[in-house]
Amino acid sequence: MINIIWAAMAVIGIVYAALFGNMDAVNKAIFQSADDAVALTIGLVSVLVFWLGIMKVAEQAGMLKMLAKALSPLISRIFPEVPKDHPAMGYILSNITANLFGLGNAATPMGIKAMKELKNLSGSNEASRSMITFMAINTAGLTLIPSTVIAIRLKYGSASPTEIVGPTLLATIIGLTGALCLDRLFYYLDRRKSG
Amino acid sequence: MSILTGISVWLIPLFIATVLVVATIKRVPAYEAFVEGGKEGAKMALSLLPFLVGMIVAISILRSSGALDAAIGLIAPFLAYIGVPSEILPLALIRPISGTAALGMTTDIISSFGADSFIGRLAATMQGSTDTTLYILTVYFGAVGINRMKYALKVGLLADLIGIIASIIIVTIIFG
């Protein structure tokens, strides 16, 4: 599906530009955005190196195991296929915690690391049930305090910049619940289809 | 607000200090472990590069051609009919695709309609309660070499739709 969506985005864009004479802009955008993507990756290097370094120390000090054990009763319901004290649990929890506190820079490396551990568990190049559940939690956009949005509201003279915290949290919870339900639904549909 | 920003400034340094203290007490070779983890991070970042270039270029072709704006123009009248301001539609469409573009649009909506307008609050809530599904899929699955995503994309995009609809309903009830 991702193959089709990816090709479709580019092809639709090029055909549309051909029909409406925007080919110039498309041509520029191709090279500019490739450049941007490289800059984005380089920006990720420092974050990934630093956080995976710190998390390795935390892992070797046994802190991830402790965290995983403490919160596993809750999380193991959501991830039934991950053993209780597997390192994946620790990384999943670190990712969720970092997301909740709006520490996006720390959340991404831990999320990737969690995926890597989940891949070790499944041992295949196909997305496993746990991986998709974990992805669903992340795309639902967990946030306790949407600090970037608050900052923008503050900048544009809102009388009460934080008043959207409650509605945002509520919307996030509904989105998360929806994501987890859909995840379950598609998992069972998929299993039935493949027998 | 100041307490909240205070917490997030303290959180990371405190976390790092705690990790290093615990590691030292447990006689873990902290620096060596850091370097080992960091090497893994460097490798990961490099392996991500082609995934990000591919995805970002395709998205930017779609946007720069004007096709995305045209699609928005087609759906907007229908939304206006059910009472959703059509100015919010570009944000709802771009949010799952591009995080920076969505942030730009949110800023634009807030600056042109006002932070405390209905649409300004809606944009803020939408921005805060969803995340960039396509980016997360690309980065998380790309970095570990998952090439068959199965139903992941469907779940991610439908979850975005739920989050967006929930934002509209909640903001309408609370601030409408």
Q: Which chain B residue lies closest to A162 (C-alpha atoms)?
A: B1
From A54, A56, A97, A51, select the one nearest A75 (Cα to Cα). A97
**For residues B73 and B80, what is the distance between their CA atoms, to the nearest angstrom?**
11
DSSP bridge pairs for B148: A126
From B154, B84, B155, select the one nearest B126 (Cα to Cα). B84
SS3 A145: coil
**Tell me: the pLDDT tens digits for B34-44?**
999 899 888 87
DSSP code of A128?
P
From A143, A133, A44, A105, select the one nearest B56 (Cα to Cα). A44
pLDDT tens, per residue, chain A with 195 residues: 678 888 998 999 999 999 998 899 999 999 999 998 888 788 778 888 888 899 889 889 988 778 777 777 888 889 999 988 788 998 998 898 888 766 667 788 899 999 999 999 999 999 999 999 999 999 888 877 777 788 788 888 999 888 888 899 899 999 999 999 999 999 999 998 876
Mean pLDDT of B144-169: 90
**Tell me: the pLDDT tens digits for A158-184?**
998 888 888 998 999 999 999 999 999
B43, B107, B140: best mutation site toward chain A, by most A Cβ within 10 Å?
B140
CA distances from A87 to A9, A34, A90, A119, B102 (A): 37, 35, 5, 12, 34
How would you label A88-116 residue by residue, b for 16+ Cβ within 10 Å and e otherwise?
A: bbbbbbbbbbbbebbbebbbbbbbbbbbb
Beta-carbon pairs below 8 A across chains A and B? 350
Using the beta-carbon criterion (under 8 Å), do B136 and A125 form an inter-chain contact?
no
Using the beta-carbon criterion (under 8 Å), do A174 and B57 form an inter-chain contact?
no
Closest Cβ opposite residue B37 in set A5, A53, A102: A53
DSSP bridge pairs for A126: B148
Amino acid at B128: G
Task: Tell me the pTM.
Answer: 0.80
Structural tokens at position A177: 């619940």
Q: Which chain A residue lies closest to B156 (C-alpha atoms)?
A: A136
**For residues B56 and A10, what is the distance between their CA atoms, to the nearest angstrom?**
10
Using the beta-carbon criterion (under 8 Å), do A140 and B163 form an inter-chain contact?
yes
